[in-house]
């Protein structure tokens, strides 16, 4: 409880309480951590999508978009790390403020808008850093300046640039913070995108699709049909929600954290059952019991983000232990 009682209150006051300022300062601190990896306990190892993971607990995309603190995450105990969402064109994202904490609900609302330095800058950083001691996932998104008609080439350009550096690639068509992006979840758009990525994938890198929690079962079923027809390796469920389940706020953006957990579980259960594909479960994981529920719903791996902010690095260790108990 040291983090919750002592560290978190200090962190949340930094920068006058500006959540993004704290995020940036934390990444700067973590970027100074030397390379290394915390040992995973016996029985924690998993093989999913043909990739060997030291443990089943990963860092979700969005925490370290540009890979600035990549040496730190394995040291905190993560078995894999997902960077991004990265776009082909560098972009500043939406206007600030754009990141908001709701501690009583253990929730966050963000409307960051894929702020990142672009695929070429990420590629250069990864080349300079060298191989990580854990698998690296790369989340790909559409540049805001690119119209929907040019979305396929935008994703493909990033995929080509980063192809040799990612263990797997996540196709993010479900963020609520880039205008028109969620339109790419419909059958025609998604089919064109996945077909183009498949044609650019000679080594068969695992490609995953990240889905929104706000889709109906019918829409999810159509999305799964497209994924299966294009040989997608797995799914990530879920992204943030435009709903506000139990959180009293009018701030626009995607909601993550504890209030998302029930819907994230429903989506994981549905997509795992209907597709038979491996699923990375993410959304509302704040306790080891949440990890257990995700695995019981059909997830093969899990990812943390908002839970890490509210409960600190100890949650990683406890989450890994929970996955061992469901081996």
Residues taking part in catalysis: 175
DSSP states of 1-49 as a string?
-HIIIIIHHHHHHGGGG-HHHHHHHHHHHHTTSPS--PPPPTT--EEET
On whether 210 is known to bind a ligand per the annotation, the reply is yes
On whether 204 is known to bind a ligand per the annotation, the reply is no
The DSSP call for residue 169 is: E
Tokens of 48: 């999913």
Q: Which of 307, 306, 212 is nearest to 264 (CA)?
A: 212
Q: Which of 140, 133, 130 is nearest to 160 (CA)?
A: 140
Cβ(74)–Cβ(313) under 8 Å?
A: no
The count of other CB atoms within 10 Å of the CB of residue 249 is 13
On whether 62 is known to bind a ligand per the annotation, the reply is yes
On whether 114 is known to bind a ligand per the annotation, the reply is yes
Residues 256, 279: Cα–Cα separation, whole Å: 18
On whether 65 is known to bind a ligand per the annotation, the reply is yes
The C-alpha R_g of the chain, in whole angstroms, comes to 18
Beta pairing class for 80-86 and 99-102? unpaired
On whether 63 is known to bind a ligand per the annotation, the reply is yes
The tokens 């700067």 sit on which residue? 28
On whether 238 is known to bind a ligand per the annotation, the reply is yes
Residues 310, 323: Cα–Cα separation, whole Å: 20
On whether 36 is known to bind a ligand per the annotation, the reply is no
**Residue spans of beta strands (DSSP E) within 64-219:** 80-86, 99-102, 107-110, 136-140, 168-172, 207-211
On whether 292 is known to bind a ligand per the annotation, the reply is no
On whether 113 is known to bind a ligand per the annotation, the reply is yes
On whether 2 is known to bind a ligand per the annotation, the reply is no
On whether 139 is known to bind a ligand per the annotation, the reply is yes
Cβ(140)–Cβ(169) under 8 Å?
A: yes
Residues 160, 146: Cα–Cα separation, whole Å: 17
Is residue 99 classed as helix, strand or coil in its secondary structure? strand
On whether 195 is known to bind a ligand per the annotation, the reply is no
On whether 125 is known to bind a ligand per the annotation, the reply is no
On whether 239 is known to bind a ligand per the annotation, the reply is yes
Enumerate the known binding-site residues for FMN.
61-65, 85, 139, 172, 210, 238, 257, 284, 305-306
* Binding site listing for substrate: 65, 110-114, 172, 177, 239-240
Residues annotated in a binding site: 61-65, 85, 110-114, 139, 172, 177, 210, 238-240, 257, 284, 305-306
């Amino acid at each position: 409880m040291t983090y919750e009682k002592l560290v978190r209150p200090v962190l949340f006051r930094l920068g006058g309480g500006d959540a993004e300022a704290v995020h940036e300062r934390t990444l700067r601190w973590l970027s100074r951590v030397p390379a290394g990896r915390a040992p995973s306990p016996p029985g924690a190892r998993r093989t999913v999508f043909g990739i060997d993971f030291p443990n089943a607990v990963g860092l979700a995309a969005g925490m370290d978009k540009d890979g600035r603190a990549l040496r730190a995450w394995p040291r905190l105990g993560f078995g894999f790390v997902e960077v991004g969402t990265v776009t082909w064109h560098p972009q500043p994202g939406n206007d600030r403020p754009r990141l908001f904490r709701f501690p009583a609900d253990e929730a966050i609302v963000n409307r960051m808008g894929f702020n990142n330095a672009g695929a070429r800058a990420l590629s250069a950083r990864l080349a300079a850093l060298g191989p990580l001691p854990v698998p690296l996932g790369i989340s790909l998104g559409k540049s805001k300046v690119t119209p929907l008609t040019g979305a396929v080439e935008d994703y493909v350009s990033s995929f080509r640039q980063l192809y040799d550096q990612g263990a797997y690639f996540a196709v993010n068509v479900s963020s609520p913070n880039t205008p028109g992006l969620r339109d790419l979840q419909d059958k025609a758009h998604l089919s064109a995108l996945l077909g183009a990525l498949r044609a650019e994938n000679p080594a068969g890198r695992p490609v995953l699709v990240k889905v929104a929690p706000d889709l109906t079962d019918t829409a999810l079923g159509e999305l799964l049909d497209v994924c299966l027809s294009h040989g997608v390796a797995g799914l990530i469920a879920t992204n943030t929600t435009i709903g506000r389940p139990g959180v009293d706020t009018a701030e626009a953006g995607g909601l993550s954290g504890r209030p998302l957990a029930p819907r994230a579980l429903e989506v994981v259960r549905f997509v795992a059952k209907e597709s038979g594909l491996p699923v990375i479960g993410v959304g509302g994981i704040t306790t080891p019991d949440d990890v257990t529920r995700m695995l019981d719903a059909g997830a093969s791996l899990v990812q943390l983000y908002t839970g890490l902010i509210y409960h600190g690095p100890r949650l990683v260790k406890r989450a890994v232990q929970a996955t061992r108990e469901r081996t």
